[in-house]
Amino acid sequence: MKKSGSFSLLFLISLIVTGQSPVSWTFTAKKLGNKTYEIHMTATIENGWHLYSQNQPEDAIANPTSFTLNPNPLFSNNGKIKEIGKLEKFKDIKLGLSANQYSKKVEFVQIINLKGNAKTNFSGSVEYQTCDDKKCLPPKTVNFNVALN
């Protein structure tokens, strides 16, 4: 019985440790016009941590944030996903590496145009990596699904 309790405690601790993330995501749609929507994929970042831009310099070692959008014949993407936030250009001369990163908050925005008046969803996933001044966490993937009415 004691072994079972110890195992349960270790399992719970491992869930807490692996489940922690210094970034939380929200996904929303804002209607701009009759058939035009702005999709906001917002990352809120804990103090001391950084989330990386989609665009990185050649000497970057962190994984850039990347989006995989599920195909949907009911709409088309209008341009690329834009980043709205205070971009920080980090450079470590001793290690010879750089990074384009965000602290606190960044919004990734995709404009889409519906092809008709049907209700549909904007869905996909975001893969991202976060680091603080001492360590980097492994890349993580979050799935999302935003209803368009």
Per-residue confidence (pLDDT) for residue 12, from 0 to 100:
34
Which CATH superfamily hosts domain 22-148? Thiol:disulfide interchange protein DsbD, N-terminal domain (2.60.40.1250)
Q: What is the pLDDT of residue 16?
A: 38
Q: Are 33 and 111 in contact (CB under 8 A)?
A: no
Mark the ranges of the chain whose per-residue pLDDT is less than 50.
Answer: 1-18
Provide the whole-model pTM: 0.84
pLDDT recorded at residue 92: 84
> What is the domain partition of the chain in residue ranges?
22-148
Reduce the DSSP state of residue 46 to 3 states and report it. coil
Under DSSP, the state recorded for 22 is S
| Portion of the chain with pLDDT greater than 70, in percent | 87
From residue 82, how far is each of 16, 50, 63, 76 by CA, in Å?
Answer: 33, 18, 18, 16
